[in-house]
Structure 1
Amino acid sequence: MSGLLGFEHVGMTCGDLDRTIAFYCGLLGLTLALRKQNERGEMAFLDTGSGMLEIACPAAEIARSRDVPPHEAGMRHLTFAFESIDAIFAKLEAAGVELIEPPRPAYFIEMVKRVAFVRDPDGTIVELVERADSRG
């Protein structure tokens, strides 16, 4: 049988694995599931509770993430749902995280009520959302 079981993970690259784990686990609440050396550097899997981030940290220096222009294919942002984006946004602001946009009403209210945007330590855009009541 070939039925879909669910979302597994998305792969990312970072420049400093300790800093990335501190952001995603320490600030956002993900759980470190695995951290392991390999021939190219180090890897970690961070569990969101409904899928994982696979983080590669190569032994070589990497460039900061760049935003994907609207006319180019690619991942534009990662999104995490929270009970209160006001609370998580304030926590991130106090921690000195790079802020993009404070909490505001969402455009697609069928899916999410409110959104906010920040950047992770490597410049990847992270969207914070409160889900629409119909989604639970």
Structure 2
Amino acid sequence: MIDALHHVAIICADYDRSKDFYTRILGLPIIRETYRAERRSWKCDLAVGHAQIELFSFPDPPPRPSRPEARGLRHLAFAVRDLHAAVEHLQQAGIVVEPIRTDALTGRDFTFFADPDDLPLELYEVDPAGPPPGTMAT
């Protein structure tokens, strides 16, 4: 029934700051950016492999609890082929990154950091010899 993840929507408090974070620091390319005057809202579609992030701005969005284990979406995870290089890149940009841990079930390394609105984000190292991140092994 479901073929793939299409997009994840994120509402941010400061559109320019979040757009800079996701495009410049994380390196996600912009697919399109639209201002919707009737909603006083920006919408920026960002490419993430075969999926997208929809980055929204709305006037005065209420905060959402996200830690430690609030109900709802727990975190957004990005696949990377070289976790240590990705962590170094984030740290050079001034992003605080948690210590690298190993997933007891898969043996893969991962870590967490936060976006400008404190949304928990994860970097999960995938097999460099495997299929490209965002695709399914067959």
Asked if 1:30 is matched to 2:28, the reply is: yes
Listed one character per residue, the Cα deviations across residues 11-56 of structure 1 (whole Å, up to 9, x for unaligned) are 1100122221221221222111111111221111111022111111
Partner amino acid, structure 2, of 1:57: S
Residues 1-136 of structure 1 aligned to structure 2 (within 5 Å): 3-38=1-36, 39-40=38-39, 41-58=41-58, 60-68=59-67, 70=69, 72-99=70-97, 101-109=98-106, 113-132=108-127, 136=131
Partner amino acid, structure 2, of 1:56: F
Q: Secondary structure at the match of 1:121?
A: coil
Partner amino acid, structure 1, of 2:65: R
Q: Report deviation, 1:107.
A: 2.5
Instruction: Using the aligned pairs only, state the percent identity.
Output: 29
**Whole-Å Cα distance in 2 between the matches of residues 63 and 93 of structure 1?**
29
| TM-score of the superposed pair, with normalisation by structure 1 | 0.82
**Whole-Å Cα distance in 2 between the matches of residues 35 and 11 of structure 1?**
14
Q: Secondary structure at the match of 1:102?
A: coil
| TM-score of the superposed pair, with normalisation by structure 2 | 0.81
Where does the alignment leave 5 or more consecutive residues of structure 2 unmatched?
Answer: 132-138
Q: Report deviation, 1:93.
A: 1.2
Where does the alignment leave 5 or more consecutive residues of structure 1 unmatched?
Answer: none
Query: Taking structure 1 as reference, are residues 82 and 5 closer, same or farther at Cα in structure 2, changes over 3 Å only?
Result: same
Partner amino acid, structure 2, of 1:19: R
Q: Secondary structure at the match of 1:20?
A: helix
Q: Report deviation, 1:73.
A: 3.1
Listed one character per residue, the Cα deviations across residues 65-103 of structure 1 (whole Å, up to 9, x for unaligned) are 521553x5310100001111111111111211233x222
State whether residues 68 and 75 of structure 1, in contact with CA within 8 Å, keep that contact through their aligned partners in structure 2.
no
CA RMSD of aligned residues (A): 2.2
Match of 2:136 in 1: none
